[in-house]
Amino acid sequence: MSSSAHTPDIFDQWASQTPVDPKEPPTPDGHAQAAMDSDNAPPQPSAPATSHTASPTPTSLRRAVQELLRQGLLERTLKKPLFQQVATDTERVNALLEPLDLQVKVDDARGLAFVAVAASHQPDDSEDDEWTHPLVRRQRLTLEQSLLLAILWREFLQREQEHGLGVPVQLALDGLLPQLEIYLGHTGSDMQERKRLLNLLDNLHDHGVVSKVDAQDNFTIRPMIVHLANPENLQALLQRLRELSASSHPVPEQPE
């Protein structure tokens, strides 16, 4: 006795599917295919473990280091937050500068942080100058610039002895002109003397030694002057120029 419901046999099921190439074997159903794919698929590499990386540089320290490199120095009186950031995290700043063969030096008593060439720096063998560093520009001072630097350095140290470290040292142009004349003589024109002094101060300003001259003809000697040159060399320069000035302008003999 036949059943009223017709159950299609396996041949009907194959016929109802999308025709395939007769040369290809019949495709199993979805569940079987998924199982086969799972069995035959090449092993997938496991996701790499998350590696531990150094924590990023804080934004405040990043800005401080960028400004330090841009200016070459930071002063507490001018940029206190940036200076404090460098002064309190000097070790990390030096780690950031180490690949550049640079380091930061902090004079906390005077409120100064500045970039210096690291002691470990090895100059290029092809360079004649042993001091050469590819990222630090070297500028030589003229005799007049060196003289003014020595005068300002001496004045700065005298004021520090009188008032203590970290106290701003201000000078007036009128008080500085006579000191230059001792070594350089007088040109015969007060206007020319003033112009010469202003030009020399502009040059030293580029080295971070002095501020700009203000409307009252005053300027500030900046603490970088202490670290810019060798004290013995400056003293020797002043002494030598004093001797040359005395020999070229002998004191007239007094009549008997």
pLDDT at 179 over 60: yes
Rama region for 188: left / alpha / beta (φ>0; ψ in -120 to 50; rest): left
Task: Tell me, yes or no, whether 45 lies in a domain.
Answer: no
Task: Tell me, yes or no, whether 127 lies in a domain.
Answer: no
* Higher pLDDT, residue 157 or 133: 157
**pLDDT class of 230 with cuts at 50, 70, 90:** confident
User: Which one of 77, 99, 117 terminates a domain?
Assistant: 117
Q: Which of 98, 70, 68 is nearest to 81 (CA)?
A: 68
Task: Tell me, yes or no, whether 170 lies in a domain.
Answer: yes
Domain that holds residue 243: 143-248
| Region 177-196 average pLDDT | 86
* Higher pLDDT, residue 173 or 229: 173
Task: Tell me, yes or no, whether 95 lies in a domain.
Answer: yes
**pLDDT class of 39 with cuts at 50, 70, 90:** low
Is 178 in contact with 122 (CB distance < 8 Å)?
Answer: no
Task: Tell me, yes or no, whether 113 lies in a domain.
Answer: yes
Task: Tell me, yes or no, whether 202 lies in a domain.
Answer: yes
Rama region for 208: left / alpha / beta (φ>0; ψ in -120 to 50; rest): left
Is 141 in contact with 191 (CB distance < 8 Å)?
Answer: no
For residue 185, what is the domain's CATH number? Answer: 1.10.10
Tell me: do 213 and 166 sit in the same domain. Answer: yes
| DSSP assignment letter at 98 | G
Task: Tell me, yes or no, whether 254 lies in a domain.
Answer: no
Mean pLDDT, rounded, of the chain:
78
Tell me: do 182 and 244 sit in the same domain. Answer: yes
7-16, 53-62, 85-94, 140-149: least confident range: 7-16
Residue 81 burial class via C-beta count within 10 angstroms: exposed 0-12, middle 13-18, buried 19 and up: exposed
Rama region for 72: left / alpha / beta (φ>0; ψ in -120 to 50; rest): left
pLDDT at 243 over 60: yes
69-78, 179-188, 246-255: least confident range: 246-255
Apex CA 111: angle with CA 64 and CA 207, to 5°?
A: 75
Tell me: do 106 and 148 sit in the same domain. Answer: no
Task: Tell me, yes or no, whether 54 lies in a domain.
Answer: no
* Higher pLDDT, residue 141 or 174: 174
What pLDDT is recorded for position 59? Answer: 92
| Region 59-87 average pLDDT | 95
Tell me: do 179 and 226 sit in the same domain. Answer: yes
164-173, 195-204, 233-242: least confident range: 233-242
Domain count, the chain: 2
Ranges 28-32, 50-54, 56-60, 215-219, most confident: 215-219
Tell me: do 154 and 194 sit in the same domain. Answer: yes
Instruction: List, in order, residues 6 or more apart from 141 with CB less than 8 Å away.
Output: 149, 203
Tell me: do 156 and 102 sit in the same domain. Answer: no
The answer to pTM > 0.95 is no
Tell me: do 182 and 222 sit in the same domain. Answer: yes
pLDDT at 80 over 90: yes
pLDDT at 224 over 60: yes
